[in-house]
Amino acid sequence: MQKKIFALKELTKNLWWSWDTEAKQLFEELSPLLWERNNHNPVELLRHISNDELIARCHCKYAEKLDRVYARYQAYLNEKNTWAALNAPELVANPVAYFSAEFGIHESVRIYSGGLGVLAGDHIKSASDLGLNFIGITLFYKEGYFRQHLNHDGWQMEDYPLQYPENLPVEKVTGPDGKDLIITVNIAQSEVYAQAWRLKVGRATLFLLDTNIPANESHYRDICCRVYGGDQNMRINQEIILGIGGAKLLDKLGLQPKVYHMNEGHSAFLTLELLAKEIAKGATETAAMATVRSRCVFTTHTPVPAGHDRFSRDMMHYTFDKYLTSIGMEFDDLMKLGSEDPKNIHGLFTMTVLALNLSRAANGVSKLHGQVSREMWQHLYSDKKVSEVPIGHITNGIHTSSWSCGLTDTFWKNYTGSVDEMTLSRENAEAALAKVSDDEIWSLRYSLKRNLIDFIYRYLANQLFHQHTHSFYNEYDVMRSAKNTLSPDVLTIGFARRFATYKRAPLIFSDLDRLNRIINHPTRPVQIVFAGKAHPHDDAGKDYIRQIVEHSRRPQFTGKVIFLENYNLGVAKRMVSGVDVWLNTPVRPMEASGTSGEKNVLHGGLNFSVLDGWWPEAYNGDNGWSIGNGEAFENYEEQDRFDAQQLYATLENQIIPTFYERNEHNIPTRWIKKIRNAITTIAPQYNTHRMVRDYALRYYLNQEEK
């Protein structure tokens, strides 16, 4: 019996469970309430359940399930014939080190803010599944990213609950002497120390650097406090720990990565540490640069110049003074590496420029974004035409099994081996779909939407209770009164993402009368669910949230326009599986890729999006809808007006009629045809297994060079 309990506890120590449906059920079954309350964190869950209870419950069906899951876990860890072993053995022999300021792996590990982190999380999971020797590097943010509450006025309030290592599946990294492994990094005139934590993600390892240790001066302890917290000074310090600290950690562990992959420019300082090592070995500066370049690849994510990290010359000087002395590098040489114009080294230091200068290959994250990036950085390569600028693209994907839920997973398993197998190729997806009837797809849609609605009411009860302690019962009752209830019969639109203003969450409210006619149509109504966080310093984004909450309280929208607070990976999973249509309204071309629309596909959701990011590549006229045709206006108001018109017209003339058009068995056959089309054209392409295979073959294996 103790052996079984040991196995259960062992499963909690590797985030592999987070993408295995049956493993998640093992934890949830122990106590659905505690599972929900503890943010689906099995380490915390088991701290609340006594050994006596575990012994009593590890019997019969539960024990069988545990054995099955544990055997699958062991088989996974010991698998020899992985994709990498068969196709890229060099990437098994030597590790790839992937640096990212955030990783969104599971909602219980709050070291991410949004899309960039979710991408990194999905990347590391696919790298593990495919068998790459893969190491992630990030920071251990004690407070993580904030938890969002809305106050009575719909204004975002942030709080930062602490994350304790003992509640997470992390272990301290120790040296050969058994003591904590500590690395030392120079910042300004100080030595800053960091310890490291190890987090297992399937076969991959994620290292988290942590400066919150007594050896540090107090203002340096806070470096690893909040994801993207603080000012520019905090930012540069975080990036030094991530880049230079990360490179030092790998060195100290005796790891020799074949490739260093910088996910966004935040980690680009790692190149300085690699340069320093080469120079210390006696290489000339030119030779050192060539060596470093041959080992680094860089992915850029930001299609607007203002979004790139830049530091003033003064700040660079102040921060790097001692470090440069220690590695024997001139300050002006450093500035040259990060200046947009190498002849003017008195301006700003740009992390993207440093990363581009010291990587052998660089890429944007969609076809359109690759093009935009080549235009944006052409001035760094004045001898080249835009088309020759050495920035390619690999379009982002999602980790399919992480984004399918219990229902969807079981559904597709009836027709194919697993969702991974189904999305391996278009042929596989078509073969699975050929076995599924329209009735079955429609039944799946109803079940998923019912699940979402049930979830929303449980969630709202809690949310409204905090928001309106006085008028709570009133508000909640109004929302649930028969005429206002959400219904699975109704076309349901979802919109959830970071509330960066370019994503234009309130666009659909541009014309309230028109929206009222759409939502409250007597026979073809619509309901909309929103969620999203604004960055704590972004008052304009917070005002967008406030506007939506205000709209949701108008009598005509009450109970039909819902805002769910505290968007995170868990809420995202619920939403993408339940809604019929996923709405995406960025100002083109500001969405580098976007991935949330890729998450709904296997659930039978359809995308309705501006032709931005991944969507222009994926959209074929039959697998969803576009908002406009990529038209661009000089003036923001004009753009908004135009896009809103397009949005309403497509909704009224195409989406709503298609959804409510039924055959004699009450099945919307044209709608389901679109679902089938979306599954065969999107799911096999826009997933991270395909994406990581692309990175591996084209970038990690040196096959594509500048």
Ligand X SMILES: *Cc1c(COP(=O)(O)O)cnc(C)c1O
**Footprint of ligand X (CB under 6 A):** 114-115, 118, 497-498, 567-569, 572, 594-596
Phi, psi of 88 (to 5 degrees): -150, 60
SS3 208: strand
Least separation, in Å, of the C-beta of 393 and ligand X? 16
Element of type H or E holding 661 = none
Between 589 and 594, name the residue whose CB sits nearer to ligand X.
594
Least separation, in Å, of the C-beta of 494 and ligand X? 11
Q: What is the per-residue burial (b if ≥16 Cβ within 10 Å, else e) of 640-657?
A: beebbebbbebbeeebbe
Instruction: Give the tokens for residue 511.
Output: 């014309």
Least separation, in Å, of the C-beta of 114 and ligand X? 4
Chain center to CA of 565: 18
Least separation, in Å, of the C-beta of 532 and ligand X? 8
SS3 182: strand
H helices of 79-166, where?
83-87, 90-93, 115-130
Least separation, in Å, of the C-beta of 591 and ligand X? 7
Q: For 562, what's the count of Cα atoms within 13 Å in the CB-facing half-sphere? A: 33
Between 260 and 615, name the residue whose CB sits nearer to ligand X.
615
Q: Which amino acid is at 605?
A: G
Between 66 and 592, name the residue whose CB sits nearer to ligand X.
592
DSSP string, 489-549: TSEEEEEES---GGG-GGGGGSSHHHHHHHHT-SSS-EEEEEE----TT-HHHHHHHHHHH
Q: In terms of C-beta distances under 8 Å and separation of at least 24 residues, what long-range contacts does 431-440 make, across chains too?
A: 433/676, 433/679, 433/680, 438/667, 438/669, 438/672, 439/665, 439/667, 440/411
Instruction: Give the tokens for residue 109.
Output: 């590990």
Least separation, in Å, of the C-beta of 370 and ligand X? 17
Least separation, in Å, of the C-beta of 594 and ligand X? 4
Least separation, in Å, of the C-beta of 533 and ligand X? 8
Between 384 and 537, name the residue whose CB sits nearer to ligand X.
537
Between 148 and 339, name the residue whose CB sits nearer to ligand X.
148
Between 311 and 499, name the residue whose CB sits nearer to ligand X.
499
Between 393 and 676, name the residue whose CB sits nearer to ligand X.
393
DSSP state of 39: T
Residue 160: name the closest of 263, 106, 207, 230 by CA.
230
Between 421 and 617, name the residue whose CB sits nearer to ligand X.
617
Between 416 and 595, name the residue whose CB sits nearer to ligand X.
595
**C-alpha–C-alpha distance, residues 555 and 484, integer Å:** 10
Least separation, in Å, of the C-beta of 495 and ligand X? 10
Cβ atoms 195, 180 nearer than 8 A = yes
Cβ atoms 438, 669 nearer than 8 A = yes
Q: Which amino acid is at 603?
A: H
Between 442 and 495, name the residue whose CB sits nearer to ligand X.
495
31 by Cβ neighbours in 10 Å (0-12 / 13-18 / 19+) ranks as middle
Place of tokens 């080294």: 345
Least separation, in Å, of the C-beta of 537 and ligand X? 18
Least separation, in Å, of the C-beta of 575 and ligand X? 9
Q: 219: Cβ–Cβ under 8 A, 6 or more apart, which residues?
A: none
Between 237 and 595, name the residue whose CB sits nearer to ligand X.
595
Between 112 and 298, name the residue whose CB sits nearer to ligand X.
112
Between 226 and 248, name the residue whose CB sits nearer to ligand X.
226
**C-alpha–C-alpha distance, residues 162 and 362, integer Å:** 36
Least separation, in Å, of the C-beta of 115 and ligand X? 3
Angle at 381 between CA 378 and CA 386, to 5 degrees: 40
Least separation, in Å, of the C-beta of 403 and ligand X? 8
Least separation, in Å, of the C-beta of 101 and ligand X? 15
402 by Cβ neighbours in 10 Å (0-12 / 13-18 / 19+) ranks as buried
DSSP state of 455: H
Cβ atoms 544, 499 nearer than 8 A = yes
SS3 85: helix
SS3 695: helix
Q: For 687, what's the count of Cα atoms within 13 Å in the CB-facing half-sphere? A: 31
Between 119 and 672, name the residue whose CB sits nearer to ligand X.
119
**C-alpha–C-alpha distance, residues 330 and 484, integer Å:** 67
